[in-house]
Structure 1
């Protein structure tokens, strides 16, 4: 760990000394564009961000990466029903990419290595020794500046909206990618994607993440910006097929359609994000109807010391009302971000409702503090509690308790420059009546230190 941190510091000092521009690293690194500025070849760092491949400026290559170390200590895993790692464990993730542009043609490739030291029996999401995380080709069919129609084929990350349904899984050690094709249109204040994919199945070992024949994801996602009064609107349809899924005792093939809308604003003092999704389809031969309503709003007091931001989230997510009525109301969040509620990925967004206030403070220009408190209840007492990947944690059968518990989280983040960040965080989950009846029901404790470098 010590040598790894020293390596991070050496690399970032070298980058900071040579880079003149302030980079804007995106959540999906293939969206990075800062290296296209005219002076991008004046120093060592920017030379690797913009490598000319000829006289034409539209022919170039770029390289970059992301290195992250996380040291994690937990107590009472799965609220006391799983063993703990006494001295904690270290997660490390390495991402390196190459981006080649040949006018209207583009190839992007990214390598990923996720390692778990001192973690007994790690899952493929925790440890995936080495693999090609992304490799895809783009063709810009129009070649215009303001209107772009692009076809993308290959293994690729996807992220839509606030990652409630489709995200890159940044929190866990291995990020998520999809095999498939996508056509996307960007024109003024309108963006539209149409895609057909298979989520990549992570497999332990090296270079063996295979094409997943057991699941399919397809759909269309449309974004309208600068809409009068409401600012921004998303409209989307998502289709999911899985060969086998289990909803608290009901197991079988799943075909699920999701229709949703999102109204949002992320600039200024007052921000908001409201989303509604309705799902229908079939599961194991039975009718499927599910839904979710979500609200996330915040206000920043920009003229007050520490610029406090007060936030309030609340979600209502349906669960199955009756186990034997040939209907399923369990909501499936598809492929959401890992840590859906707060800092820790304990509970998935299905069969629950919650109230989640938060406070963020800007202690200095580069130092931020946050604290949040989340209260959880089961929406239906006849359905269980699910993990973020929709694995059943506890069955809801045999107990009528609805209160799951409360989660208190806090973090402090220091960003000395655009390339490097340090985060110290902790959470305490106070087990409620349902967890005490369904399992051991001990309080869960979590602490982590994260160091991350992007270049």
Structure 2
């Protein structure tokens, strides 16, 4: 009840929030120096922009987030998981302090607390992490170049490979050194990092020395014909990687490109990745191609957006042939195919038509249908975190099943976001041959408040 009262207080306080705050998914990308010339004297302005020098070039900024989620599953994990009749609740708190000393020095610190209540099994660290330092870095900047050192979130492109993992309860971070260069329509990042392993207790998150991640990512916008393009090279070294083909040391290189644009009518996002390297004594050769194309009917009252997504993601073609063809999605967003997060992007072929309807300015309804097949009959089915769910051996069927999702999203202002989702997964031949094979029904409710 205390938590519920707290969220009510926050909701009531929105009346006082006069600023149209441009909140971003990466909170460190927010810049409140525009308030330098604001002559108002509200408590909220002082929270977002608190100068500590006469010229106002040195200042503090404070912010945070409270998120509540309720989930209820029928036949979770296709009937393999214990049933929880009354569902479970996930809660996430984020709070940050951002300090700028002129244009050359900046430090950003963010704490995260993620709580899980009512799960049938002990919650994983992705669901429950009582309190920890999620980010703590310094920026040293000069003109177009910035050096960022410390614990930080990494997010690139459409977040297919490198994501903040927004949908799960506990966002992910890296201990990294990153050079960032930006000029005109070009941006270039070069980084080296260690993955930060989430642990369930207080201030116990640690560097995972067994998982190193480095690479380069560049973005070019306003290019003739192509509009926007990303080019990247990413490397992951994992001391212990697990696939259907076995367990061992993985050294994987990913080379990819993404072409994307969003106009008034058309939106498209096309991406291709090839992976090579070594896994144990095997040679890695894996790939993926994805497309997300949509068209908005502006002439209609609801302005429907009609689109289709599709992905082809390689799986291991044959066991013990000296090659590993299973694609590694690296550090993807947790809800890759909806909040139910049932399937991960490895050894997969999917077709995903959808439609979005703007019921009002702040209310959006989405209906989508996702059909799944295994790319290779000799490889298994993987979860979003890369864990093998079912081996490829029980069935020679490629057909995994299809998923129907309905989502209603309401954003009355910049601070408040509500989402209701209903997902039904119809188990296909492979699922039924590999386990209990029951259909899944998931309902999920989310309320998020940012300040």
Task: Decide: shared fold, TM above 0.5.
Answer: yes
CA shift, 1:405, in A, is: 0.3
Task: Give the structure 1 partner of residue 28 of structure 2.
Answer: 30
Contact 1:352/1:378, CA 8 A, preserved across alignment: yes
For structure 1, which segment, 32-41 or 329-338, has the greater mean C-alpha deviation from structure 2 after superposition?
Answer: 32-41
Task: Give the structure 1 partner of residue 247 of structure 2.
Answer: 251
Structure 2 residue 16 is matched with structure 1 residue 18: yes
Task: Give the structure 2 partner of residue 185 of structure 1.
Answer: 181
CA shift, 1:3, in A, is: 4.8
Task: Give the structure 2 partner of residue 69 of structure 1.
Answer: 68
Q: How many residues align?
A: 448
CA shift, 1:440, in A, is: 1.0
Name the SS for the 1:304 alignment partner: coil
1:182-224 deviation digits (Å, cap 9, x = unpaired):
0001101000000000111011111000111110110000000
Task: Give the structure 2 partner of residue 323 of structure 1.
Answer: 319
* 1:374-453 alignment runs, 5 A limit: 374-453=370-449
Task: Give the structure 1 partner of residue 109 of structure 2.
Answer: 109
Contact 2:347/2:381, CA 8 A, preserved across alignment: yes
CA shift, 1:58, in A, is: 1.6
Task: Give the structure 1 partner of residue 257 of structure 2.
Answer: 261
Structure 1: gaps of 5 or more residues: none
Contact 1:41/1:50, CA 8 A, preserved across alignment: no
Contact 1:40/1:49, CA 8 A, preserved across alignment: no
Name the SS for the 2:207 alignment partner: coil
1:59-95 deviation digits (Å, cap 9, x = unpaired):
0010000100001101111101111211101100000
1:21-42 deviation digits (Å, cap 9, x = unpaired):
2111111100112463321753
Contact 2:245/2:320, CA 8 A, preserved across alignment: no
1:306-337 deviation digits (Å, cap 9, x = unpaired):
11011100000000000020101000000000
Counterparts of 1:83 and 1:291 in 2: how far apart (Å)?
A: 35
CA RMSD of aligned residues (A): 1.2
For structure 1, which segment, 75-84 or 131-140, has the greater mean C-alpha deviation from structure 2 after superposition?
Answer: 75-84
Task: Give the structure 2 partner of residue 241 of structure 1.
Answer: 237
Structure 2 residue 214 is matched with structure 1 residue 218: yes
Name the SS for the 2:345 alignment partner: coil
CA shift, 1:437, in A, is: 0.6
Contact 2:211/2:238, CA 8 A, preserved across alignment: yes
Cα pair distance change 1:23/1:410, threshold 3 Å = same
Counterparts of 1:57 and 1:199 in 2: how far apart (Å)?
A: 36
Which of 229, 238, 241 aligns to 2:225? It is 229
Counterparts of 1:287 and 1:395 in 2: how far apart (Å)?
A: 21
Name the SS for the 1:79 alignment partner: helix
Question: What is the TM-score normalised by the length of structure 1?
Answer: 0.96
Structure 2: gaps of 5 or more residues: none
Cα pair distance change 1:306/1:6, threshold 3 Å = farther
Structure 2 residue 125 is matched with structure 1 residue 124: yes
